[in-house]
Amino acid sequence: MGEDVDGEGESGRAVLGRTLKFLREKTGKSLGQLADDTGYDKSYLSRLESGERLSKVNVMEDLDSYYGTDRLLVRLWRDARKEVVKDKYKEFMELEATARVMWMFQLRVPGLLQTEDYARAVLSGLSGAQTTAGNGDEVEEQVALRMGRQELLHREPPPSVRVILDEGALRRPVPDAKVWTDQLSHLVDAAELPSVALQVLPFAAGVHDLMDSHLWLLWQRVGDPVAYVEGNGFGGLVEDPDKVLTFRLSYDLVRDAALAPAESTAFIKRLLKECRS
C-alpha cells in the first residue's frame, strides 16, 4: 500500500482524511504532538482527519512538507475540493484550471483576486446575515476552495489574465474597513503581476451589453474558446462558436470603454487613499 489510503467508493474528503491519519500514525505521533509540531490546533487537525473539514491548500502544503510526501496531500486535496463545488461550476473550474488565456468582466471583485478575509465576508453575506455554527464550516470550505483556485495565477507558465471590473465593484465595501482597504491594496498588487491586466469600467461609460452579468472567456492551448456567463441565480458554459463570438465582441466594446491598466491602477489607489483618510 502506498502513502494514500485505498478509498474506492469513498468521498475524496474521506480519502484525504484517512490518508492524514495514516501518515500521522505511521510517524508515531499523537494529534497533540502533531499540533505542537505544526502549530495547527489539535481539534482542527482531528476534524481534517475525520473528513469533517476541508482545509486551505497551504495547510496541505505544510503537512506534505512535514511528512515528506511530495505534494501527495495537495493532490488529494484537489480531488476533495471538487465535492465542495456546486455541479454547475465543476466543468467551469476544470477549464479555468487549465486555461492559457482568461478574460473576465466582473460586477464584483472576482474570486481569483479576493483576499481571504474579503472572501469570507462576501461568502458569509451570501449565507445569511448571521453566520451560525451550521453554515460556518460551509463558508470556511468555500473560502478554502476560492483561495486554492488562486494557485493558477502563480503556476509556470501562468495564464494571461485580463479583468475588467465594473466601477460598482469598487464602490461597495464590506462592513470591516480594514478588510476592504486590504482588498483594494490586493487589487493594486495583483495589477502589478506581469500576467495580469486589470481595467476599471467607469460609470461614465454608460450602458453596455454586459451590465447584467459576469462573463469569462477562456482559451485552452488548443481548441475553440468557451464562455461562462453568470447572473443572479444562473450560470452556465457557452460553447456554441457563434454565441462565444458574440460575447467576445461585447467584451471588446467594454474593454474599449474601460480605463487603461495604468489609469485603472491609479483609480484604485485614489479610492484606497480616500478609504484610509
pLDDT per position as a tens digit, 107-154: 999 999 999 999 999 999 764 444 444 467 788 888 988 998 898 998
Task: Give the amino acid at 263.
Answer: E
The ranges of the chain annotated as CATH 1.10.260.40 are 12-81
- Calpha distance 212→105 (Å, rounded): 11
pLDDT, position 93: 85
Q: What is residue 269's three-state secondary structure?
A: helix
Q: CB 222: neighbour CB atoms within 10 A? A: 6
Q: Residue 150: exposed, middle, or buried by beta-carbon count in 10 A (0-12, 13-18, 19+)?
A: middle
The ranges of the chain annotated as CATH 3.30.870 are 87-276
Mean pLDDT, each 10-residue run in order, the chain (277 residues): 53 87 92 93 89 84 93 87 66 89 96 96 69 66 88 91 97 95 97 96 94 94 92 82 96 97 97 92
Instruction: Calculate helix-pair angle for 72-81, 133-149, nearest 10 degrees.
Output: 120
Task: Specify whether domain 87-276 bears CATH 3.30.870.
Answer: yes
**CATH class assigned to 12-81:** mainly alpha
pLDDT, position 129: 44
pLDDT, position 132: 43
pTM above 0.75, yes or no: no
pLDDT, position 130: 45
The dihedral region occupied by 275, where left means phi > 0, alpha psi between -120 and 50, and beta the remainder, is alpha
Query: Residue with C-alpha cell 474528503?
Result: 13
Locate 173 and state its grid cell. 465595501
Closest CA to 235 of 41, 89, 128: 89
